[in-house]
Structure 1
Amino acid sequence: MITFPNAKINLGLNITEKRPDGYHNLETVFYPVPIEDALEIHLSNDANKKYSLHQAGVEIIGNEEDNLVVKAYLLLDKMFDLPPVDIHLYKRIPTGAGLGGGSSDAAFMLKLLNERFELGLTDENLEEYAATLGADCAFFIKNAPTYAEGVGNIFSPVSLSLKGYQILLVKPDIFVSTREAFSLIKPHKPEYSLKETISMPVSEWKGRLVNDFEASVFPQYPAIGKIKEDLYKNGAVYAAMSGSGSSVFGIFAPDTPIPEIDFDKDCSVFKGNLE
């Protein structure tokens, strides 16, 4: 069986307070975007090995057992004693980009295993399992526009559709440390209500829908800030960095051709239609 885990972007990201446990409370809106990996599982012929992971595409640094797809399999295997499987993962979603690629892979793996082995888990069950793998993993179970708060793990639905709009997403060859990005943030109450802003026309989001990480990331990495400027110069109705970076996206009005923009040759560029 095969499935296609998609990425997400953050529409607004406000860091509202630092918690006693050292983490930060935030608010954001997750929105699914059509940049996809490919994930496939087959029953394995090797009964002595629970899983084999085969990776291609974007390189994933780290040990195999730390891959969230493997962790998702082992989590359900512990509960349901699953058969051994061969896992094939083709990565297209950039890593370290604020796009939730690893979290999406994990959530889609849970859904794939649930369907393949008829485990009978509900979306609510799957969200509970996904939440143990990462704060935003559970979002990808229902994979619909979602208002997130807490540490990004408390969800409520939002009435938002960008169907017809187009997205141009740019991932520069720059790594932004999430830990460092958080360390430079000064939590504060946002000037504008995120929920109110997100209900306004997209053309009115600029200046109101803010990613707090931009204030600390752009001075350190001016090239990221320049991508946002270039997107606006070339007709984006809204542009922002996603998560703590380093990817930046521009949203373009329906039926408006996305222009060819001369980004740095080391940038990865993705175009698509939003749903």
Structure 2
Amino acid sequence: MSTSAMVVFPNCKINLGLHITHKRADGFHDLETVFYPVALTDALEVLTAGELQFTGSGISIPGDSGENLCVRAFQLLQQDFPALQPVQIHLHKHIPIGAGLGGGSADGAFMLQLLNNKYQLGLSEAQLIAYAAQLGSDCPFFISNKPCFATGRGEMLEPIALDLSAYSMLLVYPGIHVNTGWAFRQLTPAVPLYSLKEMIQLPVSEWRGVITNDFELPVFSEYPVLAEIKEEMYRQGAVYAAMSGSGSAIVGLFPKASLPDVEWDSSYKVFKIR
């Protein structure tokens, strides 16, 4: 059992296509989407301590620190492992919050894995996924952290063969926080004509207008600047561009080593992933 500090780097994800297919009796929605991991990360450090503590740096983290998914992940495991020693948690936040990139979910999932490794709990991937599902719908993805076709609330995962290494990625976040509850209320669930699981196997050059996100229509109507960012990416040579999740980050795929040198608004957060 380790008492030394341990550091991990939770990465974000993008949604490639997103369809809301059904409103469930429990109030949640069934969906289908493709999750793809992206090398834009936070930094999470954990050190054995006398009491549970949480501190943050980087992007300001709103809300009660006791509700942070890293803290909740520790408390979740402590229920089943009462001997788990308290820890001091420090999260350096770099992934934009409320952007549709799953940064908070990644932090919670990586916390579970870190504690499993640090304290040698012996939890299998399947067990970690079960814990992650209790934290949030997107959390299980970050346990496997490989391209997946997701259904249910996003927690039912099927690995798929999808490799975007031939492309560079541009992520633009204009600082708009889209309320997820509001976004869902704008949609009428419907099963798409063609399964995203099949369409995602098309060449990336054929994704435009085919791999779609149901949230774009209402969110772009409310925040027209997001549609402008997407169209600017296409004007600059993107092979594919879309909003991730319920927004508001816009992602563009460009041929490798050909990211455009665009003067974006100075208030935007712009990430180039080559």
Please indicate, yes or no, whether the TM-score normalized by the shorter chain is above 0.5.
yes
1:189 positional shift: 2.3
Matched, 1:42 2:47: yes
Report the counterpart of residue 66 of structure 1 in structure 2: 67
Report the counterpart of residue 82 of structure 1 in structure 2: 84
In structure 2, C-alpha distance between the alignment counterparts of 1:21 and 1:79, rounded to whole Å: 26
Alpha-carbon RMSD across the aligned residues, in angstroms, is 1.0
Contact in 2 for aligned 1:29/1:148 (Cα 8 Å): yes
Matched, 1:17 2:17: no
What is the 5 A alignment of 1:54-203? 54-80=55-81, 81-203=83-205
1:214 to 216, 222, 230: 216
1:69 positional shift: 0.4
What is the 5 A alignment of 1:18-33? 18-33=23-38
Contact in 2 for aligned 1:192/1:208 (Cα 8 Å): no
Report the counterpart of residue 6 of structure 1 in structure 2: 11
In structure 2, C-alpha distance between the alignment counterparts of 1:98 and 1:77, rounded to whole Å: 29
Instruction: Report the identity percentage.
Output: 53
1:186 positional shift: 1.5
Q: CA, structure 1 residues 191+261, in 2 after alignment: closer, same or farther (shift >3 Å)?
A: farther
Deviates more, 1:113-122 or 1:191-200: 191-200
In structure 1, C-alpha distance between the alignment counterparts of 2:125 and 2:221, rounded to whole Å: 41
User: TM-score normalized by structure 2?
Assistant: 0.95
User: TM-score normalized by structure 1?
Assistant: 0.95
1:4 positional shift: 0.2
In structure 2, C-alpha distance between the alignment counterparts of 1:53 and 1:176, rounded to whole Å: 26
Deviates more, 1:154-163 or 1:131-140: 154-163
In structure 1, C-alpha distance between the alignment counterparts of 2:193 and 2:221, rounded to whole Å: 21
In structure 2, C-alpha distance between the alignment counterparts of 1:179 and 1:262, rounded to whole Å: 33
Contact in 2 for aligned 1:227/1:263 (Cα 8 Å): no
1:20 positional shift: 2.3
**One-letter amino acid of the counterpart of residue 103, structure 1:** S
In structure 2, C-alpha distance between the alignment counterparts of 1:96 and 1:171, rounded to whole Å: 10
In structure 2, C-alpha distance between the alignment counterparts of 1:34 and 1:19, rounded to whole Å: 33
In structure 2, C-alpha distance between the alignment counterparts of 1:103 and 1:242, rounded to whole Å: 14
1:164 positional shift: 2.8
Report the counterpart of residue 267 of structure 1 in structure 2: 268
Report the counterpart of residue 3 of structure 2 in structure 1: none
Q: Is the partner of 2:112 in helix, strand or coil?
A: helix
1:155 positional shift: 1.0
Q: Is the partner of 1:188 in helix, strand or coil?
A: coil
**One-letter amino acid of the counterpart of residue 67, structure 2:** D
Q: Is the partner of 2:32 in helix, strand or coil?
A: strand
In structure 2, C-alpha distance between the alignment counterparts of 1:78 and 1:258, rounded to whole Å: 47
In structure 2, C-alpha distance between the alignment counterparts of 1:43 and 1:147, rounded to whole Å: 37
In structure 1, C-alpha distance between the alignment counterparts of 2:146 and 2:193, rounded to whole Å: 26
Deviations, residues 51-103 of structure 1 (Å, cap 9, x unaligned):
11110001110001100000001111221121121111100000000000000
1:209 positional shift: 0.2
Contact in 2 for aligned 1:55/1:88 (Cα 8 Å): yes
Q: Which runs of 5+ in 1 are unaligned?
A: none
